[in-house]
Amino acid sequence: MTETPYRPRTGRPHVVIVGSGFGGLFAARKLKDENVDVTLIDRTNHHLFQPLLYQVATGILSSGEIAPPTRQIFDGEQNIRVVKGEVTDIDVDGRTVTSKLGDRVQAWEYDYLIVAAGAGQGYFGNDHFAKYAPGMKTIDDALEIRSRIIASFEHAELANDPAERERLLTFVVVGAGPTGVELAGQLAELANRTLKSSYRSYNPHAARVILLDGAPQVLPPFGKRLGRNAQKQLEKLGVSVKLNAMVTDVNEYGVTYKNAEDDSVETIPSYCKIWSAGVAASPLGKMIADQTGIECDRAGRVPVNPDLSVGEHKNVFVVGDMMSLDGLPGVAQVAIQGGEYAADLITAETEGGEIAENAAREPFEYFDKGSMATVSRFAAVVKMGKVEVTGFLGWVLWLAVHLMFLVGFRNRLVSVISWGLNVLTRDRYQLVSTRQQMYARTAIDRLIELTGDDTGIRDKKGISEIERGDK
């Protein structure tokens, strides 16, 4: 580790941004060409358009369309430096952030810090469920889920036991929020439309897609009318929707749930299980909260001040899925507006190249631009204030909004072409499945056990244990 934390030599205020998701990306964009130096740190090398991960998992889009390289996004911005690394420590009193990439550890001194590290999948205290029911928060997750989906159909082609084939062709999605609804709808279309004549020993139409949720309705934040509409559209596709269903166990064999209405317990035999029922904020939130005397909520989110700062540290901002403020939801628009708001405050306070102490700040005001979820081709639900739109018009609005927020002209163009082909034909062109995608998570867990990190980079003293074959 370097003895002295790094900071640019320009003499300008240094802004460190942790996370290149919506909050971090839009904050950095706002700060380009301003009188500050920006260091953007993320564990990945890309910005992820997370709302479209399910389309990677179901073969409509490739990962590149929704995950452009962060360095290319900021290639021409001279005041922005992109750094890949896992943030392992934040010292709010010492004003430093420490990141690690392989055996390379670097500390970064900051004047302002924006923490936008997002959230991972939450299992409500049952993290062991993840082994059998992966969530969908990263590109790796989507590719693994795609491989599991394809493996289900391939194994079913060779299965001789009717019960085993039924288990292989039963897909269980846990969580009836936007991700779960969209994924369930696409799984049904994949089986009934794309693959309907691809197998010889069975009809893919026999596949069952089951959507489970402990709530009494689909899409609770959208209201009862839109929830009923989405459920009706799913059932029209053949999806079995089971509400008031509290999942109590997930294992290799299937999913067990308890019906909250009559306390009955049922186990669904299933090979492919997918979890979309909860989120858990980045552990960096708790790290900051512990240092500032603040208690995180149950999801690990940090209560922030009206200006999105934390406690008495006016130079530390927490935005997006990591923050807790006025019950705001963990959606892209909250992260985008929060990141831009923090960047605007920093720009105003550093206008002359120096930091204005005790500057007055207007509180953050979130403008709700609405929520939307697509169920299938030509069917979506959209809620914009009191305006509710369903069906084909909702689907068109969904396409327009998602296209607008994709990063890069090529990604927008290719996505439009892919969506158009999906409408005009029943083929999907991104259904490649590999063993690496299927088993990489297990291999990475093993790598971490052996080396302490997931990069596989040899240390300065010599080759790693894996390369030596010691273990």
Instruction: Give the active site residues.
Output: 182
For residues 138 and 179, what is the distance between their CA atoms, to the nearest angstrom? 13
CB 237 within 8 A of CB 188: yes
- Look-up: residue for tokens 């069952």? 208
SS3 115: strand
Q: Using alpha carbons, list the distances in angstroms from residue 308 to 181, 312, 381.
A: 31, 11, 31
**For residue 191, what is the DSSP state?**
I
Within 8 A by CB and 6+ apart from 420, the residues are none
Q: Using alpha carbons, list the distances in angstroms from residue 415 to 60, 93, 143, 207, 428.
A: 9, 45, 18, 28, 13
By the 10 Å C-beta count (0-12 exposed, 13-18 middle, 19+ buried), 93 is classed as: exposed
SS3 387: strand
- Name the percent of the chain in helix, strand, coil, to the closest 5: 40, 25, 40
Q: Using alpha carbons, list the distances in angstroms from residue 217 to 1, 245, 383.
A: 52, 11, 16
Q: Kindly give the pairing relationship between strand 254-259 and strand 170-174.
A: unpaired
Which of 445, 432, 454, 451 is closest to 62 using CA atoms? 432
Task: Output the six-digit token pair for 196.
Answer: 């309907």
Listed in order, strand segments (DSSP E) in 385-461 are: 387-390
SS3 273: strand
Residues in the chain: 471
For residues 382 and 389, what is the distance between their CA atoms, to the nearest angstrom? 5
Task: Output the six-digit token pair for 274.
Answer: 């997918």
For residues 454 and 471, what is the distance between their CA atoms, to the nearest angstrom? 16
In 38-138, which ranges are continuous DSSP H helix? 53-57, 63-66, 70-73
- Counting Cα atoms < 13 Å in the Cβ hemisphere of 92 gives 23
Q: Which amino acid is at 131?
A: K
